[in-house]
Amino acid sequence: MAHFSKSGGLGCVCMVLGLVSVRVPGLGSGTGLGSGSGFGRSTRPDIIAVEVVNPRGTSGCSAEARIAAVSRHPEEQTAVVFAEDKDAHVVLSCGVTIDVIAKIGISTTTKVLFLDASPVKIAVQAFNAEGDMFTDLGDIPFEWHLESSSLSERPLRIVPFSQSKYEAPEGVRTLEKVKKRGYVVLVEGVSTGAAVLSAKLTGSHFR
């Protein structure tokens, strides 16, 4: 618990609340965080950059901030991001860990799709060398491939979020605007048959 002083010498109490820690990959990936209604700042701006999203008025207050990894060191690093609600005298804190992706895997709740059914979300999960899973993969681009033994038509197709009723994560939505795909895709069945869906990281720093 920290104490702040108002003008006139009156004291007020400001509670410091801890949020769940976040693990994000390095190399400039970004993700969004709810941040109360104050200013966002990082204890290590050389590791984590904080950008206020949709600031309101001249104060620059916002209910959301975007964090991005700016470190280029291939090792685990940590920082703390703070946001202050000046009206409620509350400071929110969130621990952020930057690490290197060692392996990836595909996560889905189903392996069978039905014709004329709603598309399902299929996501990439990424892990560091110790097996810890990253919280968010932000706007890191992925290459997705469908392989099928069918000679006529692939039984599955990837549906852009913009053509569905589903809301895409911010980073994925940003990638779709430039005709790229992120760590989550929508897949629907278009004919009977079987197919294999695979994903891989793009960019020279992931090879």
More confident call, 23 vs 140 = 140
pLDDT value at residue 158:
93
In this predicted structure, the answer to whether residue 12 has a pLDDT above a threshold of 50 is no
pLDDT value at residue 206:
62
Interatomic CA distance for residues 135 and 127, integer angstroms: 10
Interatomic CA distance for residues 21 and 98, integer angstroms: 11
pLDDT value at residue 14:
31
The per-residue pLDDT for range 105-137, each reduced to its tens digit, is 998 877 888 888 889 999 999 998 889 888 888
Question: Which residues does 15 contact at the CB level (< 8 Å), separation at least 6?
Answer: 1, 89, 90, 91
Radius of gyration of the chain (CA): 21
Fold of 103-201: Immunoglobulin-like (2.60.40)
CB 94 within 8 A of CB 80: yes
pLDDT value at residue 87:
74
Q: Count of alpha carbons within 13 Å of 171, Cβ hemisphere only? A: 21
- Domain limits of the chain? 2-98, 103-201
The per-residue pLDDT for range 50-103, each reduced to its tens digit, is 877 777 776 667 777 777 888 777 788 888 888 777 777 788 888 888 888 888
Q: Which residues of 188-201 are buried (b: 16+ CB within 10 A; e: fewer)?
A: bbeeeeebebebeb
Q: What is the share, in percent, of the chain residues with pLDDT greater than 90?
A: 20
Phi/psi for 30 (5° steps) reads -130, 155
pLDDT value at residue 29:
52
The per-residue pLDDT for range 143-199, each reduced to its tens digit, is 999 888 776 778 889 999 999 999 999 889 999 999 999 999 999 988 888 888 999
In this predicted structure, the answer to whether residue 11 has a pLDDT above a threshold of 50 is no
pLDDT value at residue 186:
94
Interatomic CA distance for residues 89 and 175, integer angstroms: 37
In this predicted structure, the answer to whether residue 23 has a pLDDT above a threshold of 60 is no
CB 178 within 8 A of CB 171: no
The per-residue pLDDT for range 29-47, each reduced to its tens digit, is 555 444 444 556 788 888 8
pLDDT-derived band at 9, boundaries 50, 70, 90 = very low
pLDDT value at residue 4:
27
